[in-house]
Amino acid sequence: MAEEELEKVVESLPSDVVNDLASLGLCNRCIFRALGVQGHRIYASPSLFFPSIHHHQQQQLCTLCLGILQFSFSDDSGILHNKQNDDVALLIADMLKRQRYHFESFSLEVSIPPIILQNDNSLSSYIKTKYGSQQNFHVGCISAKDALKFSLVHPLQNLLKSSLQECKSSASSFRIRLTYTHSKASKGAENCSDTAQGCKRRKTGESNLVGEKPSNSSLENETSDCCKFLLETVNEPCHFTYTCYRTPFYFGGRYLKYSRNVSQTRWIIDDERMGEASVEEIIGGNILQACQADSFKFHAAGREDIDVRMLGPGRPFLVEVQNSRYVPSELSVEDIEKLINNMENKLVRVKNLKLVGSQGWELMREGEAEKQKQYTALVWISRPLKDEDFQCVSSLNDLKVLQRTPIRVLHRRSPLEREKIIHWMKMETVAGSSQYFLLHLCTQAGTYIKEFVHGDLGRTHPSIGSILGCRAEILQLDVTDIKMECFLT
């Protein structure tokens, strides 16, 4: 900001109020914000000063902001710093360059000790009481958070812009977080609360003499005393840390699993890995590497057992990418899909991989409740097949099945009874065998297919075994289709 403009702003403020605030130990930026002065350029100016205030007063820590707007702070090593706003902006910019984030905009987040807000409220009450009658005086305190953002945003934008594009502060998924803490903040907050209650009692007319009302002059003095008590001299600056992160974003798509030795998620029992790989690691691992992210979470619309292949159009999934350094373009997403599909082992394949918003999670869950699954199972029965078996099974449409939690999952699932629907079934012969057949069926989501075939010792009823009046066992199972029209079709 030009020196002449800054001088005009300074000259427009009432000198008696400025000097009073300075006597309470306020720094220059806190005086500006206490008087409701707006504007990024004012707070960003490194030459912010009031000619009437002695220079040595500005070397002390501000009693209102605890030195935050003077850019005085201690770091993790306990070293004390006294800097300008441009210096702090440079520290942040260097940190971003070291961590190699790619971004076109940023959002600045600030966390400060709560005592500063309480100090602001008390000071605002003091100013209104003492100077509110002045017609040329505007009362309206700017928060310390906003003043700090005003001071740093423009220097940061200048430091972060590249030769090709500007970098703007806006609502962005990339966040820069500034955190200030103070060892005496909690104690000061208690004192502030006690003092504020005392002031409130005095203002409502409580006194030692019944019926006595405080005069305006005594009220003014008491309010002033409260502010002076709250804004006591600070010897220790705030501890300052700064970090950055990107909010999570999502990849969505459908996966197919061709191996009967691949689990959906990483499966470890007693430090021993089950299966040769997992869908989660194959898909999520490649996305993690491409996005240079800290971690990921894998979510799928249901699950299949490790020995069940996932065929047909595939199962919908989401990968939640956390704190990514890089957000891929549409072309880069296509490259990630090709990378997964061209892996040598051919265990897993993805389809329709794309970046989706957080609403993708809601759509997947909504669709999951209504979706249908189609399976193909290789079944053995304890007697030879009869012609009427085919007609009997195919005639059962929308068959209601009661399933108690299967024995094989009782150790991790609640013992409940669930009603599921088998929408349709049909049988297909297997060449050269009278006791094997392929069972094609469409079911409601959440149906336990293995248990529907063998009955699980009577815990699922009816079952294929009870329908055909014999013992039945399932040898292989494939998910062949999942109907979810609302998500990634």
> Which amino acids are annotated catalytic?
305
Secondary structure (3-state) at 362: helix
Question: Six-digit token pair at 378?
Answer: 């290789």
Q: Identity (one letter) of the amino acid at 397?
A: N
The DSSP bridge pattern shows strands 168-169 and 174-181 to be: unpaired
On whether the CB atoms of residues 422 and 454 are closer than 8 A, the answer is no
Quote the DSSP letter at residue 170: S
Rounded CA-CA distance 257/304 in Å is 10
Rounded CA-CA distance 463/455 in Å is 5
Question: Six-digit token pair at 139?
Answer: 């009362």
Q: Identity (one letter) of the amino acid at 237?
A: P
Rounded CA-CA distance 237/254 in Å is 53
Rounded CA-CA distance 477/160 in Å is 55
Map tokens 């130990």 to a residue. Answer: 25
How far the first Cα of the chain sits from its last, in Å, is 55
Q: Identity (one letter) of the amino acid at 189?
A: A
Rounded CA-CA distance 431/441 in Å is 20
Question: Six-digit token pair at 483?
Answer: 């109907």
Rounded CA-CA distance 101/94 in Å is 11
H or E segment to which residue 397 belongs: none
Long-range CB contact pairs, 11-18, < 8 A, 24+: 13/37, 14/131, 14/134, 14/136, 14/137, 15/52, 17/127, 17/131, 17/137, 18/50, 18/52, 18/53
Quote the DSSP letter at residue 399: E
Q: Identify the sign of the CA torsion 116, 118, 122, 125.
A: positive
Map tokens 């934008």 to a residue. Answer: 157
| CA nearest to 150, candidates 242, 234, 245, 46 | 46
| R_g of the chain, CA atoms, integer Å | 35
